[in-house]
Chain A
Amino acid sequence: MLHERTRKVLALALAVVLVFGLFTISGCKTDDGGEGGDATGEAETIKIGVQTALTGPLPDYGAAAKNGVELALEDFGTFEMDGKTYQVEIVVLDDKAEPAESGIVAQSMVDEGVVGVIGSLTTGATLSAIPIYAEYRIPQISGSVTGPKANADSVDTFYRTCWSDAIQGEALAAWAIELGAKKVVLMDDNGAYAVGLADVAEAALEEGGVETLRQNCQSGDKDLSAQVANVKEFAPDALIFTGYHPEAGLMRKQMIEAGLGDVIFMGGDGIKSAEFVAEAGGTANAAGCYATFGGFPEDQQPGYEAFAEKYKAKFGEDVGPYAQNNYDAFGALIAAIKAAGSTETEDIIAALQDLEYEGVTGTFSFASETEGAVQRGDIVVAGLTPANVPRYVIEGEDWVAVE
């Protein structure tokens, strides 16, 4: 037993080391928001917010979105307008993909005085930010919010550069039918994104005469045995998991453990992450899982090759999910500022409505009104059909495009 004094001194020393260690760790990571060029003294700085989720369940999607914006900052971050030079400064805030946190982040963006926001990352989190941005008249462009009901109130401040799940859901259903499924389980995580995608897919499946069963779990669940038991009883040909990869991987793993490895495992853009393989318990478990995505196949995106090269050079890894859509979102926002000839948010919103932008993913504009499955602010691009939704399958460690 140590002397009491020694113990106290040790405890204090340990605490000091931990706290200082912490500062060193965080100190190493302060290379955020790399400025594009040498900002001259005369440049006027404008702030653009990046609302993403760097912590929480989806840090991989969040990092990809941030990387996409950082690349765009290098390319479009300094621009001339009316003989004046403008320098964009990005304000990155983390909403953890949680609705409540997203509301706080949106209010902080208002406090920061941003002229526009790229984000947020997930449909569920965006729902609570949309009314705040709409109230304070700040234009918001998301590169990854695919939920079909994201902009249910048709506000004029919300835009997105990814495809709505209204299209992806139909594509998932069509693919399941092509694969010969007669009985399909749809499973969501009760979140806005997953429920929206599952609703669309379920309707399309039922129209195609497929028998369906709906199951759900919660984000963060670790035990899905109840759902697995229900699936086993229903004995489906395929299961479509419309949530995100942490629970999807777990579901795949627990289904295999329960002897349901033969059931075709499919999902939307939420599972098409490199993390899925590890979460499913390795390549053997993940092999043969299918996923769709909310955008054109990469070889149909005109600027993709050049973008992927730049991305790899800067970040040393392959393009993450929706990085190019976020790149385009930033580009479109800058284009709108230039078209408006003003940094007033009201002018930018007006400009966004008539904007036609040539980005990495194609030449697109934004829908001016809600009509059927298309909501106000949705991306409008030629060839936006379920047949064009890209399909991926896991081979080894990677998601590979299916012909």
Chain B
Amino acid sequence: MTAITGRIRSVTAPVRAAFARVPRGVYSALGLAAAAIFPLLNVWGVVETAWLRVGVLSLLFVMLSLGLNIVMGETGLLNLGYIAFFAFGAYTTALLSSPKFELRWPFLAVVALSTVIAMIAGFVIGLPTLRLRGDYLAIVTLAFGEIVRLTIINLQDFTNGPNGITGIYPPRLASEGAIASLGDAAWAKWLTVDKPIEYYYLVLVCVVVVAILLSNLKNSRVGRAWNALREDELAAVSTGITAARAKMLSVVLSAGIAGFAGALYAYYSNVISPESFLFMQSVIVVCMVVLGGMGSIPGVILGAIVLQALPQMIREAAGAARSEFEVYRMLIFGVIIVVMVIFRPEGLLPDKLWRSESHEVDPRELEKTRQSLFDLEEGEKDLEV
């Protein structure tokens, strides 16, 4: 095995070295450009509107997995009830902007409040659970997710139970009067977001903002504290990190991002009901983070897009049988995850630190690996042959 991969590596080494010289920012810019151009393909008639909808959902899941990545990837806490925070955001938005209570709050106020309410929920669940470690935390968060869902089903006066809240108003980016005063100006239409392409750009902007915020945070003191806690809590605490505070910050922040995504989801889907917040959804988001690469922001983005868009692509490829495809979706997920765990446990685009941890190294190779890691850090050339 090592002989084969070694040979492959020696062949691809110059190529990889060339790619390594390209600054990371270039890839980010290329990815962003691709994401920005994608809806234009629909305008030009190359792709169907259905794909635009897949795009919007993928972006929403990108945001969700970026949020989960904070607790799972950076801080190393397994959260299996993550979708509950998504639900908090979605239901807050639905109640404040639908015929249910005859309310239509301004977009920014709704999104801000949805985020804050999800954060409060994160704080409340964090207080008791952050004392737990590992498996126990996973179990408690799993139960939390189910409790939230069952509460939504039974709190009929507020949530309409299993029937969900329908007819959520589309977001208006300016006040009604301001839009009316613009009259027939072509871009005035864009201020009321009600077409797939408009939702796409709205969500894209939000995702970019969140991604930039998080990548800065990752490299800050806070981010390093999270990583230290993940690696060795005892050591981290002894260097002066307040474990409780750092963990709470990560849980609350990730809950807030889920609430934000939930608000956008409620606006976009027009209808929300408890079936959108099943345990399975939490698992899918966990899969996205694991597949993409825990702790790696580009990886998590890729993982979310792959897991959200791939089933749709296969569904389209299967043509008329698309409704039957749904049955096998989970099977494919399973296969992908199994293969990933065997061949690339660190994820598609792994974080440097994670990669170095997830492969068990032959003692004879250790020195070589150490050398190559050192070279990578130095940005010289890949010596591994």
Residues of A at the B interface (CB closer than 8 Å) are 4-5, 7-8, 11-12, 14-15, 18-19, 22-23, 25-27, 29-33, 54-55, 92-94, 96, 98-104, 107-108, 111-112, 124, 127-128, 131-132, 189-192, 218-219
Contact = CB atoms under 8 A, between A and B. Distances in A.
B331 A33 contact: no
Contact of A103 (B270, B320, B339): B270
A45 to B, nearest CB: 16
Contacts of B164: 99-100, 128
A103 B196 CA distance: 14
Contacts of A219: 162
B156 interface: yes
B331 A22 contact: yes
Given A30-B321, A32-B321, A94-B326, 15 more contacts: A4-B1, A12-B339, A22-B328, A29-B320, A93-B323, A98-B275, A99-B164, A100-B276, A103-B269, A107-B270, A108-B50, A111-B50, A112-B50, A190-B156, A191-B161
Residues of B in contact with A, size category: 35 or more
Contacts of B162: 99, 124, 189-191, 218-219
B342 interface: yes
Nearest to A66: B323
Nearest to B167: A131
> Of B271, B317, B326, which is in contact with the most chain A CB atoms at under 10 Å from its CB?
B271
Nearest to B52: A111
A186 to B, nearest CB: 16
A98 B273 contact: yes
A99 B273 CA distance: 6
B272 interface: yes
A219 B270 CA distance: 22
Contacts of A190: 153-154, 156, 161-162
Q: Which of A55, A96, A107 has the most CB of B within 10 A?
A: A107
B49 A111 contact: yes
Per CB-CB distance, the 6 closest pairs between chain A and chain B, nearest first, are A103-B271, A128-B271, A32-B320, A94-B323, A99-B273, A111-B49
B166 interface: yes
B320 A30 contact: yes
A127 B167 CA distance: 9
A150 to B, nearest CB: 11
A232 to B, nearest CB: 23
A128 B339 contact: no
A90 to B, nearest CB: 10
B325 interface: yes
Interface string B314-330: 00011111011111100
A18 B335 CA distance: 8
Contacts of A107: 53, 196, 270
A192 B320 contact: no
Secondary structure dominating the interface of B: helix
B32 interface: no
B339 A111 contact: no
Nearest to B341: A11
A52 B180 CA distance: 39
Contacts of B336: 15
B48 interface: yes
A111 B162 CA distance: 27
A100 B269 contact: yes
A26 B332 contact: no
A22 B332 contact: yes
Most buried by A among B154, B161, B196: B161
28 contacts: A8-B1, A14-B335, A15-B339, A18-B332, A25-B328, A26-B318, A26-B325, A26-B328, A29-B320, A54-B324, A55-B327, A92-B323, A94-B323, A99-B273, A100-B164, A100-B272, A102-B271, A103-B166, A103-B269, A107-B196, A107-B270, A111-B48, A124-B163, A128-B164, A128-B166, A128-B270, A190-B162, A219-B162
Given A7-B342, A92-B323, A104-B53, A23 B318 contact: yes
Contact of B320 (A33, A98, A108): A33
B338 interface: yes
A176 B302 CA distance: 59
Nearest to B275: A98
A29 B324 contact: yes
Contact of A132 (B270, B275, B342): B270
A54 B320 CA distance: 13
A107 B56 CA distance: 13
Contacts of A22: 328, 331-332
Interface in B169-222: 196
B343 interface: yes
B300 to A, nearest CB: 23
A204 B279 CA distance: 40
A108 B321 contact: no
A215 B190 CA distance: 48
A18 B334 CA distance: 11
A11 B344 CA distance: 13
Nearest to B328: A22
Contact of A11 (B154, B317, B342): B342
Interface in B258-296: 269-273, 275-276
Contacts of B326: 55, 94, 96
Nearest to B318: A26
A152 B149 CA distance: 27
B312 to A, nearest CB: 11
A98 B270 CA distance: 14
Contacts of B323: 54-55, 92-94
A32 B328 CA distance: 18
Contact of B273 (A23, A112, A128): A128
Nearest to B164: A99
Contacts of A11: 338-339, 342-343
B244 to A, nearest CB: 37
A75 B49 CA distance: 31
Contacts of B167: 131
Given A26-B318, A192-B163, A99 B271 contact: yes
